[in-house]
Amino acid sequence: MIKIGDVFTNDFSYTQEQVNLYAQISGDTNPLHVNAEVGKASMFGKNIIHGHFSASVFTKIFGVMLHGEGHIYMKQNTTFLKPMFVDTPYRAIITVKEIFPEKNRVLYETKVIDVATGADTITGEALLMNKKDYVW
């Protein structure tokens, strides 16, 4: 049974090929994401991953890894604290923050950290409903 304070983690990284595909699908072909020369000349010194693509790890976790069957993703707020880069190890950390048993909903704290530095890159919250698994 899910309880406040439960934690789920997932280690991941993205490739430039995945970033290029996201750029193509989303239409956000900003050269800062897809052109190595532009990335190198930028304040970041290399290409950065699209913010919403970097946060898509939460969709993967809630959709297929953590009580995925029956999940309805109701809300996500996201704060991008630091840029994320390809071929860099990251860890998504999902923590149960609040439970709403009468509505079969759970509010999660969502976070991504850079594994090498421990720095937060993304913080936020997600509200999910699941009438199959969120039953108390």
C-alpha to C-alpha distance for 19 and 87, rounded to whole angstroms: 11
Predicted model pTM? 0.93
Q: How many CA atoms lie within 13 A of 71 on its CB side?
A: 20
Task: Identify which has the larger pLDDT, 57 or 69.
Answer: 57
Q: Within 10 Å of residue 135's Cβ, how many Cβ atoms?
A: 10
pLDDT tier for residue 136 given thresholds of 50, 70 and 90: confident
Query: pLDDT band for position 127 (50/70/90)?
Result: very high
* Residue 133: partners with Cβ closer than 8 Å, 6 or more residues away: 2, 67, 69, 70
Residue 34: CB atoms within 10 A of its CB come to: 18
Considering only CA atoms, give the Rg of the chain. Answer: 16
Helix/strand/coil percentages in the chain, nearest 5: 25, 35, 40
Residue 126 has pLDDT above 80, yes or no: yes
Ordered by where they begin, the domains of the chain are: 7-129 (3.10.129.10)
Q: Kindly state the average pLDDT of the residues 77-104.
A: 97
Is the pLDDT confidence value at 69 over 90? no
Instruction: Give the C-alpha separation, 16 to 120, whole Å.
Output: 21
Query: Computed from CA positions of residues 111, 74, 25, 29, in that sequence, does the dihedral angle turn out positive or negative?
Result: negative
Q: In angstroms, rounded to a whole number, what is the distance separating the alpha carbons of residues 20 and 107?
A: 32
